[in-house]
Chains A and B, each alone.
Chain A
């Protein structure tokens, strides 16, 4: 056996993995719903008690499973919204997807006390351990894993720079609107508060942040639809962000 992993010779480069533990990540556990909070007309946050949760790194996701009485089950991957803590609770923020059998159950049927199954956390790629400057760019519910990072940054009082650019159709559809602080720049694509321009994210939004150039450079995290991820990652590359410092999570 070779001890070192083969590294291909390439013109482009993918960022490396973040050290995370996978211990216990493949064991299904019961998660008990304890609270539901509405965020926007389409999105709500669901808080669960998961007493044996092994913890996670901000940005990671989990697998969630619902089972019907005849044994039929449906599973989905969802990003964790909460920062890692020792409360034995985790939070997910879910869009109500039209015709979605899992998100439909959450938005139409679920109530505190209901039990579902989860396992994870998963992935050591789209993860931010809080050790490097983070430039977070999200759209719609793509802000969910980025919010875990923002909350972690605040909860630990981290000194490392962190910025969030978040795109939403309108102020009403901006998830976590009340929680943002000076680190965040919202971008509105359809309607905006008076005095705020309307339009998609452009190089002009990125330039001031990239110009800050923190020591060691930014690690960029992009999350949203594939169309948004393609757009935002092209803006980043054009503005000089190295491709091996761009981590992308696309919604399927």
Chain B
């Protein structure tokens, strides 16, 4: 252990929900997107699921909102070290979209992509079983553009760069294909509990 002379750090507070190396951002919700926030109206938003599926499909804003709603209440964790506790997102479970397109048995991974062209890769098992959402609202209000509105992917058990803002679709694949940050040195999976920040962690 390389102790830094004179460093004590903030008071130790036991937070069971805080992954290693993270701090509680409190009421802050930092914005870290690398691209220009797109001027994307709900009427222009679409969400497509294709690739290794029986029946590729595209949903409009109205069609997606006609699906059964689902809420996530819990925590989120950003690779830049902040975590945010007790957030509340509303949207539709990714399971609901996948049930409609019926993934082929060969599908093992997905690339999530945004209306900006941003991409991020995930094992299919991280998107299924009630662990992922297409989120439209935050704290009961429409999701703000800078936070990915009108709709973002939400995969709260992984670092938040996996939760693609302005989500446009999922492409199901039979292999893992690195996305935007993953090609830029970040970890392929990004599990905050194992501190999978960078490639090789």
Q: How far is the CA of A126 from the CA of B2 in the complex (A)?
A: 30
The answer to whether A68 and B9 have CB atoms under 8 Å apart is yes
The answer to whether A8 and B146 have CB atoms under 8 Å apart is no
Residues of B in contact, count (CB < 8 Å) = 54
A87 CB–B CB distance under 8 Å: no
What size tier do the contact residues of chain A reach?
A: 35 or more
User: Within A19-59, which residues are at the interface with B (CB < 8 Å)?
Assistant: 22, 25-26, 30
B119 CB–A CB distance under 8 Å: yes
B35 CB–A CB distance under 8 Å: yes
* Chain A residues with CB below 8 A from B60, complex form: none
The answer to whether A25 and B185 have CB atoms under 8 Å apart is yes
The answer to whether B180 and A252 have CB atoms under 8 Å apart is no
Q: What distance in Å separates the Cβ of A213 from its nearest Cβ neighbour in chain B?
A: 20
Partner of B9, one of A63, A72, A248: A72
The answer to whether B117 and A68 have CB atoms under 8 Å apart is no
Contact with A along B93-129 (1 / 0, CB 8 A): 0000000000000000001011111110000000000
The answer to whether B184 and A17 have CB atoms under 8 Å apart is yes
The answer to whether B198 and A8 have CB atoms under 8 Å apart is no
In the complex, residue of chain B having the shortest beta-carbon distance to the beta carbon of A114: B5
B17 CB–A CB distance under 8 Å: no
How would you classify the secondary structure of chain B's contact residues: helix, strand, loop or mixed?
A: loop
In the complex, residue of chain B having the shortest beta-carbon distance to the beta carbon of A220: B36
Contact with B along A55-76 (1 / 0, CB 8 A): 0000000010011111111111
The answer to whether A67 and B31 have CB atoms under 8 Å apart is no
The answer to whether A226 and B30 have CB atoms under 8 Å apart is yes
Q: How far is the CA of A184 from the CA of B90 in the complex (A)?
A: 46
The answer to whether B31 and A66 have CB atoms under 8 Å apart is no
Partner of A115, one of B2, B78, B199: B2
Q: How far is the CA of A73 from the CA of B21 in the complex (A)?
A: 7
Seed contacts A6-B177, A12-B117, A14-B180; 17 additional CB < 8 Å A-B pairs: A8-B119, A12-B38, A14-B117, A26-B198, A66-B7, A67-B7, A68-B9, A101-B9, A110-B6, A115-B4, A237-B36, A243-B116, A248-B33, A248-B34, A248-B35, A252-B30, A252-B80
- Taking Cβ atoms with an 8 Å cutoff, the residues of A that contact B are 1-2, 5-8, 10-15, 17, 22, 25-26, 30, 63, 66-77, 101, 105, 109-110, 114-117, 119, 122-126, 226, 230, 233-234, 236-237, 243-244, 246-252
